[in-house]
Chains A and B, each alone.
Chain A
């Protein structure tokens, strides 16, 4: 089984590094990982699931605010974007956060098309991240099930 563990560990390492390299994750995610220990073994998974819940909620808010038949309340949209920015930066969801920055600018400029575009992108982005992280967590689980330890991945 050692070979399997080793293989899984290598897969895990590579996968994780690629997420960072592709800009899905940043240092803050690393920090979150550091906070995970025996006392809170599922901390990262827990926080990320909270984050994804927030995404659903906030994106819903933004969509509703943008979907007004009358005038769009950009400050309302902006408030949700701001919050998403805060939480995405806290979990290390780099791409989502970057989109929020752009999104915020469109809100301030009251640019409807820009906002709608950003909304769509944010939606795609968080879902992509969610899938990728799920894959990563699965790898972790497999490693543990195979009797191994999840390696600390050094992001250089």
Chain B
């Protein structure tokens, strides 16, 4: 499309929306192409998933939406869907002749925005542009130019924009387009897409951790990370995603997940979609973070086998040697438990088999690190609740006993982070057990889980609001009760009951125990 066409298209969105259609069946592809043209979209077709990926990778701003068949010989449509979601964060619509709900579910879990059955009708295609809007990708079509402005390069940045009025967006886009006119040239240097590798993400985490949630603004994080070619916008969008993920975790209040999963989750994508596939009730999180972009988080996470999460724990441990010291600072920070976790991880991983083997160990872990895995003690954060969570979390990560549904494991990791953030923000609350309000759902779940495990129930269950309410009912004092009962079981009371968690620095916590 020429620049003029771009501007025009922009003004007339959804007219001119750029679609990439992928289907190995030439008949269907031809029909699809015509249908899309009839909807006044701009269509590019290919019958090879590999080609589609190349086209997308070559210029991620070239398309607004991808429609892909599910059954293709050179690559499974679901795989393509994931890759597109991970790498380009474009809305992807699946097409298939399979009407079996299993496939539809699979599509949704892999992050498809929609799943259409063949034969596709034009009416269905007339509304697909909504997915582009939902992803806040309206700007994408015009941000093919690297102009160093706020819109440059970072697709996730659009998420923030999505909150603004469409009109404003169009105006901005039009301006951007004009600015971009001069250098709207394929050979002009474009801002390379930032891939959030593990190292990069680690630096990010360290920076955020150091700064604390209040101070973790993109500029400062960027400075602290000190990475070449990383822009404030890249950090801002990554932070936004991170926060959304944290929020999800807190909302879920279920620490099962793999903290490693969340980490790997982040690692995986520089732009994740929201966790639509998680069946958790959302809890109110005091932080309203951007547009929900994580519904595909699960998909990324899903592919992390549990043994991988262990590996992650290890690496995390390596990365965050000073977790304990950072924790107090991160009092109000979400997700810094994640950082706390690594400390535990080496011991956890070593303990994993034993941990997984016996529920009592889990209980122990949940109760307090003092007992069976002594090595865990030093690793745990001083905060009582944090420890619990860490335990549950690491248990989850170790995950052999835990029924890990694809959907659940991932969100929990994130939840865990969010959960921790909640905890962090209400440390005393947690201690006193008086306020297990919505924000403490995670805590509630934490206990709930412990109790269940107490009852030798396998599997830390995820995202069940019931727990939360159930726990609420049990109310204050129960924390101590539970802990004590656990302790009793484990016969490690002495250490615990004194309230000396041995962590040295959370006196408030200690007193409330």
- By a beta-carbon cutoff of 8 Å, the part of chain A in contact with chain B is 28, 31-32, 35, 40, 43, 46-47, 50-51, 53-54, 79, 82-83, 85-87, 89-92
11 contacts between A and B (CB under 8 A): A35-B31, A35-B35, A47-B27, A47-B34, A86-B71, A86-B97, A89-B97, A90-B28, A90-B119, A90-B120, A91-B31
Contact partners of B35 in chain A: CB under 8 A: 35
- Does B119 contact A28, Cβ atoms closer than 8 Å? yes
| CB-nearest residue of chain B to A37 | B38
Query: Is B118 positioned at the interface, with any CB of A under 8 Å from its CB?
Result: yes
Verify if B26 is at the interface (C-beta below 8 Å from A).
yes
Provide the bound-state CA to CA distance between A87 and B120, in Å: 11
B25 contacts A35, C-beta separation under 8 Å: no
Q: Is A91 within 8 A of B27, CB to CB?
A: yes
Determine which residue in B25, B71, B118, B119 has the highest number of CB atoms from chain A within 10 A of its CB, and name it: B119
Which residues on A sit within 8 Å (CB–CB) of B34?
35, 40, 43, 47
Q: Kindly identify which residue among B25, B98, B121, B122 contacts A87, using a CB–CB cutoff of 8 Å.
A: B25
Q: Is B286 an interface residue when CB atoms closer than 8 A count as contact?
A: no
Closest 8 pairs (CB-CB, A-B): A86-B97, A87-B27, A90-B119, A51-B27, A50-B27, A89-B119, A28-B119, A86-B118
When distances are taken between beta carbons in the complex, the residues of chain B under 8 Å from A87 are 25, 27-28
20 new A-B pairs (CB below 8 Å) besides A31-B119, A35-B35, A90-B118? A35-B31, A43-B34, A46-B30, A47-B27, A47-B34, A50-B27, A50-B30, A53-B26, A54-B25, A82-B97, A83-B71, A86-B69, A86-B71, A87-B27, A89-B97, A90-B31, A90-B120, A91-B27, A91-B119, A92-B119
Secondary structure dominating the interface of A = helix
B283 to chain A, nearest CB (A): 42
> B97's contact among A31, A46, A53, A85, by CB below 8 Å, is which?
A85
Q: Is the CB of B122 within 8 A of A86?
A: no
A83 surroundings in chain B (CB, below 8 A): 24-25, 71, 97
Instruction: With both chains docked as a complex, state the minimum distance between the C-beta of A71 and any C-beta of chain B, in angstroms.
Output: 21
A79 touches B71 (CB 8 A): yes
* Chain B binding surface SS class: mixed
Contact B25 A47 (CB under 8 A): no
Give how many B residues have a beta carbon under 8 Å from the other chain's beta carbons: 20
Q: Scan residues 67-100 of chain B and give those whose CB is less than 8 A from a CB of chain A.
A: 69, 71, 96-98
* Nearest A residue (CB) for B23: A86
Measured between C-beta atoms, what is the minimum distance from B315 to chain A in Å?
A: 39
Residue of A nearest to B28 (CB): A90
Most buried by B among A40, A89, A92: A89
Contacts A43-B34, A82-B97, A85-B97: A90 and B27 contacting too (C-beta < 8 A)? yes
A43, A90, A92: which has the most chain B beta carbons within 10 Å? A90
Docked CA distance A92–B119 (Å): 8
B15 to chain A, nearest CB (A): 16
Q: Which chain A residues lie closer than 8 Å to B118 at the CB level?
A: 86, 89-90
**Residues from chain B with Cβ under 8 Å of A51 in the complex:** 27
Output the least CB separation between A40 and chain B (Å): 7
Shortest C-beta distance, B35 to chain A (Å), equals: 7
Q: How far is the CA of A82 from the CA of B25 in the complex (A)?
A: 11
Contacts of A40 in B (CB 8 A): 34
Q: Which residues of B contact A28 (CB under 8 A)?
A: 119
A32 contacts B31, CB within 8 Å? yes
A53-B25 Cα distance, complex, nearest whole Å: 11
**Assembly CA distance A90 to B95 (angstroms):** 12
> What is the minimal beta-carbon distance from B167 to any residue of chain A, in angstroms?
32
Of B26, B28, B30, B71, the contact of A82 (CB 8 Å cutoff): B71
Question: How far is it, in angstroms, between the C-alpha of A89 and the C-alpha of B476 when the chains are bound?
Answer: 62
* One of B24, B31, B69, B122 near A47 (C-beta < 8 A): B31
Residues of A within 8 A of B24 (CB): 83
| Partner pick for A35 among B38, B97, B98, CB 8 A cutoff | B38
The B98-123 residues at the A interface (CB cut-off 8 A) are: 98, 118-122
CB distance from A98 to the nearest CB of B (A): 13
Q: How far is the CB of A57 from chain B (nearest CB, A)?
A: 9
- Complex interface residues of chain B between 50 and 74 (CB less than 8 A to chain A): 69, 71
- Rounded to whole angstroms, the CA-CA distance of A151 and B157 in the bound complex is 52
Q: Which of A43, A54, A79 is B27 in contact with, Cβ under 8 Å?
A: A54
Which residues from chain B contact A50 at a C-beta distance below 8 Å?
A: 26-27, 30
**Complex Cα gap A82–B71 (Å):** 9
How far, in angstroms, from A32 to B120 measured CA to CA in the complex? 11
B223, chain A: closest CB distance, angstroms: 53
B166 CB to nearest A CB, Å: 30
How distant is the Cα of A40 from the Cα of B122 in the complex, in angstroms? 16
Residues B26 and A54 in contact, CB atoms below 8 Å apart: yes
B8-62 interface with A by 8 A CB criterion: 24-28, 30-31, 34-35, 38
Contact pick for B25, options A43, A46, A86, CB 8 Å? A86
Q: Which residues of B contact A32 (CB under 8 A)?
A: 31
Question: Which chain A residues lie closer than 8 Å to B27 at the CB level?
Answer: 47, 50-51, 54, 87, 90-91
Shortest beta-carbon distance from B118 to chain A in Å: 5
List the B residue with the shortest CB-CB distance to A53: B26
Taking CB as reference atom, which chain A residue is nearest B35? A35
Closest residue to A29 on the B side, CB-wise?
B119
**How far, in angstroms, from A28 to B118 measured CA to CA in the complex?**
10
Are A31 and B122 touching (Cβ within 8 A)?
yes
A90 to B, closest residue via Cβ:
B119
- Docked Cα-Cα span, A43 to B37, in Å, equals 13
Q: Which residue of A lies closest to B31 (CB)?
A: A90
Are A31 and B121 in contact, with the CB atoms below 8 A? yes
Cα of A32 to Cα of B35 in the assembled complex, Å: 9
Residues in B240-256 with C-beta less than 8 Å from chain A: none
CA distance A127 to B454 in the complex (A): 68
